[in-house]
Structure 1
Amino acid sequence: MITDELIDLMAEKCILNDDDFDAAVLDREPKRIQTVNLHHLALAAKSAEFARTIERADYITADGWPIVSLMRSRGIDPERVTGSEFIERMLAGRQFHGKKAAILGADRHVGDDFRGQLHDSGLHVVFRDHGNRRDWKAKRVAKKLQKYDVDLLIVAVTPPFGDMIGEEVRKAGFDGVVINVGGAVNMAAGHATMAPGWIRAMKLEWFYRLLQEPNRLFRRYFVECLPVFVKYVLPNYWRPARF
């Protein structure tokens, strides 16, 4: 469930901008970074276990303007920091050159394309598993990651399962960096379309995605997320920021 304590804890762990996100990945200290959007809060409202998964992340990011508004009500002023834009930077730059990466999730053909992109950017994909997620055992996955000396585990599975398996793998002994990016790998590999920059600037990315996948997203946005937005985000949106 969503509590003031959960929101306060999110604010304490919130990464403020893209540069801080990249720095947290590069310092190699064991950690899990969870991007959080309104859908995550909707899931947390229904599941105490998933709310604890958010609490246990070492860092969170405000992935979407509703979460940015919520964080501002807690006295910080984060930028919108998304997993998809992190993947874009990772593929476009050379700051992650030489890192050993692993991919957990996504379809195999998507993983094939994404692996090639990572290699072109100087990352070495040393392990990946695109199998049935019901067959994943956290201890077994963590052991494989340790065997291949993985620096960065990219979890390409949508919430709640993606975030929860990422936390389980870390608890099972993986001492690298875990990043939950949901569908960002599909976008990077060209199997889904990211909203143009001007649409993101107008805070209409949700509408752009709804037009692309109305059958899948209508219920998520209007049945699951809208009540959470009205109850938790909207009151804080009109409240003066504390900073």
Structure 2
Amino acid sequence: MKPLSGSKVLGAFIHAVTWDEAIASIHKWGASRESRYVCICNVHSVVSARSNRDFERVIQEADMTTPDGAPVAWMLRRLGFRDQQRINGPDLMLRYCEHAASTGESVFLYGGRPETLSLLQRRLKQDFPSLQIAGSYSPPFRALTEKEDQDVVDQINASGANTVWVSLGCPKQEQWMADHRGRIQAVMVGVGAAFDYHAGTLSRAPGWMQRNGLEWFHRLCSEPSRLWKRYLLTNTLFIGLAAAQLLSGTESNRD
């Protein structure tokens, strides 16, 4: 498999991958139970990486970063990857579960409320009857003790899971994956609100809004009090910084 290439978007390196390449990379690592992590990067991610050095390091050190959000994929197209698609968390999770069901791989679900995990597992088994769900864990709304964290690591490793799907929200899930690389023997993939979408506890934007880069607007309308500040600030910053990057011709490709 050829090395992944990509470019910096506002300072955060994003891999230019197709759906097939993303799934193939995760499968290759997961089949060997390699300890790796994948970040799904939207506008909020790349803007946060620019202002937060610790988060920037987490993104930089990821084994794969995919362009979630139409603006990030659009930037990659402008930077030379003309056919770049949006590789988002919810769809990547479903596509990979379909793949795992056909190959006999097992998945572990980390994050979400207990009731969300119950609904999610029912939905996944309904859609992919042969999918092996190795286990799940709903963390409390506090930091785990050292022993609790080690117990979770042991549980995941003992389950034999090839991939761990992490739904904690950004930047918590990315930091959690980075902290556990080398400890969890599986590929960790941070998928944001995917658990809630697939469990049916949170409605996702209609297909036409997703295709036209308006999924963020649907989320804003669904949770205005929580998200208005994030979208107002980050979207405005992204537009200005992206324009400055394109005008300066600054890009950094890497194979």
TM-score (norm 1): 0.85
Find the partner of 2:207 among 194, 197, 200. Answer: 197
1-structure distance, mates of 2:219, 2:112: 19
Is the alpha carbon distance of 1:9 and 1:219 closer, same or farther for their aligned partners in structure 2, counting shifts above 3 Å?
closer
> How does 1:84-99 map onto structure 2 within 5 Å?
84-90=90-96, 93=98, 95-97=100-102, 98-99=104-105
Match of 1:26 in 2: 27
Deviations 1:175-211 (A, max 9, x none): 2111000101100111111111111222211112111
1-structure distance, mates of 2:220, 2:26: 31
Match of 1:110 in 2: 116
Is the alpha carbon distance of 1:130 and 1:215 closer, same or farther for their aligned partners in structure 2, counting shifts above 3 Å?
same
Match of 1:234 in 2: 243
Q: Structure 1 residue 41: deviation in Å?
A: 1.9
The answer on 1:52 being equivalent to 2:57 is: yes
SS of residue in 2 equivalent to 1:131: coil
Is the alpha carbon distance of 1:86 and 1:209 closer, same or farther for their aligned partners in structure 2, counting shifts above 3 Å?
same
The two structures, once aligned, show a CA RMSD in angstroms of 2.7
1-structure distance, mates of 2:204, 2:122: 20
Find the partner of 2:167 among 151, 156, 159. Answer: 156
Kindly tell me the number of residue pairs found equivalent between the two proteins. Answer: 235
Q: Structure 1 residue 227: deviation in Å?
A: 4.1
- Structure 2: state its 5+ residue gaps: 1-6
> How does 1:1-243 map onto structure 2 within 5 Å?
10-11=13-14, 14-27=15-28, 28=30, 29=32, 30=34, 31-77=36-82, 78-90=84-96, 93=98, 95-97=100-102, 98-120=104-126, 121=128, 122-132=130-140, 133-135=142-144, 137=146, 138-171=149-182, 173-223=183-233, 225-236=234-245
Q: Are the counterparts in 1 of residues 40 and 68 from structure 2 also a CA contact under 8 Å?
A: yes
SS of residue in 2 equivalent to 1:141: helix
Is the alpha carbon distance of 1:53 and 1:94 closer, same or farther for their aligned partners in structure 2, counting shifts above 3 Å?
closer
SS of residue in 2 equivalent to 1:143: helix
Q: Are the counterparts in 2 of residues 146 and 174 from structure 1 also a CA contact under 8 Å?
A: yes
The one-letter code matched in structure 1 to 2:153 is: A
Is the alpha carbon distance of 1:113 and 1:153 closer, same or farther for their aligned partners in structure 2, counting shifts above 3 Å?
same
Is the alpha carbon distance of 1:54 and 1:168 closer, same or farther for their aligned partners in structure 2, counting shifts above 3 Å?
same
Q: Structure 1 residue 111: deviation in Å?
A: 0.3
Q: Structure 1 residue 101: deviation in Å?
A: 1.4
Deviations 1:36-70 (A, max 9, x none): 00111232233211111101110011001221133
Q: Are the counterparts in 1 of residues 12 and 46 from structure 2 also a CA contact under 8 Å?
A: no
TM-score (norm 2): 0.81
Q: Are the counterparts in 1 of residues 106 and 131 from structure 2 also a CA contact under 8 Å?
A: yes
1-structure distance, mates of 2:49, 2:12: 14
1-structure distance, mates of 2:9, 2:60: 7
Is the alpha carbon distance of 1:7 and 1:241 closer, same or farther for their aligned partners in structure 2, counting shifts above 3 Å?
closer
Q: Are the counterparts in 2 of residues 67 and 233 from structure 1 also a CA contact under 8 Å?
A: no
The one-letter code matched in structure 2 to 1:45 is: R
Q: Are the counterparts in 1 of residues 10 and 245 from structure 2 also a CA contact under 8 Å?
A: no
Match of 2:4 in 1: none
SS of residue in 2 equivalent to 1:159: coil
SS of residue in 2 equivalent to 1:134: coil
Is the alpha carbon distance of 1:240 and 1:65 closer, same or farther for their aligned partners in structure 2, counting shifts above 3 Å?
farther
Over the matched positions of the two proteins, sequence identity in percent amounts to 22
SS of residue in 1 equivalent to 2:200: coil
SS of residue in 2 equivalent to 1:174: coil
